[in-house]
Amino acid sequence: MGNVNSKGKLQYCCTKCQKVHTRACSDLVWQLAESKQKSLGNEAHFLSTWKDSCDCGAEMSFQFRVREYPLNCLDGEDLQISGAKLLQSCNIGIKESVFLSSMKALIT
Ligand SMILES: [Zn+2]
Centre a 10 Å sphere on the Cβ of residue 51 and count the other Cβ atoms it contains: 10
Q: Give the Å distance between the CA of 79 and the centre of ligand 1.
A: 20
36: exposed, middle or buried (C-beta count within 10 Å: 0-12, 13-18, 19+)? exposed
Query: Is-cis flag, bond preceding 70, omega within 30?
Result: yes
Mean pLDDT value across residues 81-97? 95
Q: Give the Å distance between the CA of 26 and the centre of ligand 1.
A: 24
- Cβ distance 92 to 66 under 8 Å? yes
Residue 103, helix vs strand vs coil: helix
Q: Give the Å distance between the CA of 25 and the centre of ligand 1.
A: 21
pLDDT tens-digit profile of 28-84? 999 999 999 999 889 999 999 999 999 999 999 999 999 999 988 999 999 999 999
Q: Give the Å distance between the CA of 17 and the centre of ligand 1.
A: 4
Q: Give the Å distance between the CA of 39 and the centre of ligand 1.
A: 46
pTM of the model: 0.86
